[in-house]
Structure 1
Amino acid sequence: MSRRGRPERPPGRGRRAWRWTTTPVRAGGRAVLVRPAQALGRRLNQVGPRGWDLVLWLVTAVLFIIGWPTVQLSHEVQGSLMPVVAAIGVAPLLLARLHPLLGWGLWTVGGVVVPLLFDRAPGYDFPWQVTAFLVLLALLFAVALRDGARAIAITWLVTAVLFVVLLPNELSAGWVFGVTAVMGVGLLVRWLVRSRRELAEQTELGELERARRAIAEERTRIARDLHDVVAHRMSMVVVQAQSAPYRLGGVEPEVSKEFASIADQAREALNEVRGMLGVLRSDGQLAEDVPQPGTDDVLEMLQRARAAGLDLSWEGTGDPSRCGASTAMVLYRILQESLANASRHAPGAPVTVDVDFGDQVLLLVRNGPSSRAPGPGRHSGQGIIGMQSRAASVGGGLTAEPTVDGGFEVRAHLPARAASDPAAADAAS
């Protein structure tokens, strides 16, 4: 025997020869069953309700087969009534899984009626058959395992009174103690099962919490990497654009104005990136808590685009105040993407923007054919798909297609207030 309580490996035998250990397994700081008991518990869990019902039927049948021919050893019963008396003592066992309290009640009625109707056999001191007594112990164990405290107390009290009344004086006290021990074991098993279940739930909650913590850490890492890769470089663009007129001598006013426009565009993009990074860094902050562009920012964006050199004209009709926050954000993003595509794919082409703020927000962005070659760069073709997804997110739609003269146009129709807007929700309610 080794120092840790494990058997020494028998000579000439492999690892499959030794399967047991006395060292307890610990989970969450609490000692649980040893390995053989854990294996037995897993096997019992695999039985299932139907399997347990089959076991109860088989045990009841065996007890009935034993009790039928031995009835006259305990009571003076006629031959025709022997199967009835045997069935009264063992049939309540069938209710041990689903309704143990009801099974105990039926057994108690039978346990009172049989001794009153039939005399005991000579030399037999018990009022019930041995098989019936075993069924009573099983039902008491099941009651302690499944029912409430009040039912357990009533069951124990009635059974104790029944033993005191029907058993001889020299046996009643011992058997009352035995019944108490059986129900105590049932309560202990119940506590162990509940403890194991609570331990499993706590373990699962701990795993979920660790998963949430890992997600939060990953979000923070992504935010940090994006800040290092994107925000720092954009900050350099802002600094270079702002300082270029001072670092370079003889800069004309038009060129200085162009540098200022570049700095403004880069600064706005930097602010948006920082807003998204703030959402990534704070796990409890909602995306709605970050300031989003609205209708007031649309005119400013159009002016900046024209100042950046885009041949742009626009016209707006209707009341922009009727536009909800979600629709305004989608409108801003679609217009932003459309202008970026026009400047990238059709440089030098005139661009017109028409916006109508009515019951629906109608947006039309059209650019003519380009007189110059498109700028360099790789284009994945995901811009139009992204605009369509944004429009669909508020219940609208978007089409983008070439025009007859070789240009391109984007048409979007959006609800004035999406269902997610607070005002729309209040109106619906």
Structure 2
Amino acid sequence: MPHDELNKEPERTPLPFWARCVVALFCSALYAMAVPYTSAVYELDLAVAFGIATVQCGSLVLAAVRPRLGATVHLASIAALVLVTRDSDADMWPLPVSGMISLGALVLLLGVRERWTISFGAWWASVAMLVALIVLTPDRYADPDQWGTNLTIYTSYTLLVLGAAIAVGQRHRIRAELATARKNVELAEAQRVLFEERARIARELHDVVAHSMSLVHMQALSAPARLGPTRPEVERDFEDIARSAGTALAEMRQLLGALRPGDSRADLAPQPQIKDITDLAAGTVRAGIPVQLDVTPGAGAASPIAQLTAYRIVQEALSNVARHAPSASADVSIDVHGTALHVRVLNGPPAHSQAGPTASPDRGGHGLRGMRERVTLLGGSLETGPDRTGGYAVEAILPSAIIEQASSQSVAPEESR
């Protein structure tokens, strides 16, 4: 995952539809009050009152979509309202009631949607603007009773609104940041587990291929002695085969050595094959889960990689049964169809609950995703999901898995209870 995506700041949460409806209704009511109020109380020309109220209420609607631009336009409309009413004899100055209400609504919108620094900065700008306009109006400034009470009321009540809005806004922002961080951690963990599973698959494939390459190397070296005197060019060919096999084996170990966590002796052990599924089923039975095992004669003739994949699929599927449906029974079948190997694991519903399937979620690299990685490497297909009985089914098809027809190697069907 890219580093900038992990550290990405949560985007601004848009206002829900109901909140936009509230803003629209509030602006309509404010507009219906502001035009006649400012026109009558401050003796403004109707056209001037209409224009200022239109910008004033429209900027609040704009602030619901683009908060910063809306705030700038709104402060400009308030400045115009203060300037056109400063020659009036009305006592409510510099802020009429309509201006005080609209500025409070602006502070509320900014506090909920923006960072506290932006909303506090807008509030501070409104106070500084009002103080500057008061100072620039000598007639009004000379009498503190004309503006002191008005400014004190505005400052006090908008501070309360600002504090409440910031608390609500920061709460939503923190929740959004926590949700984003949780999602990033889950994605990083899923990728880590997936990489670990791929490394494990690579190590197992290496061990399987390395075993075959070692046999080729040994047979090529011993062939001249076993065949007796041969022509010199034949001996050179065997030497070239042995040399190529040894070189390929050394290069493979060098390339995949980084995948081995230290000098682990467990990685040097033979990889499990289909014949080992019998012991796997027996261990599951001892854990208290009835298992019925049916392996078709000829499955043991599959390639070592295909047998390892089949074993891991059965192993993971039985582990899921133990975790998610511990009281259920499991049916394991491995069939041969032409050159394809079919692996199927079906578990019934838990005995204590028949309400529905207990699916294993595909969350990490060691579960269903790990199965899918293995099957995909062999060009096969994997299907998982609930079945009609309320249990869970895992079915894999490994094409071109059979490399020869088995004559005698087989595992008899076995039922363990």
**Which TM-score applies when normalising by structure 2?**
0.44
**Which TM-score applies when normalising by structure 1?**
0.43
Larger RCO: Structure 1 or Structure 2 (Cα < 8 Å, ≥ 6 residues apart)?
2
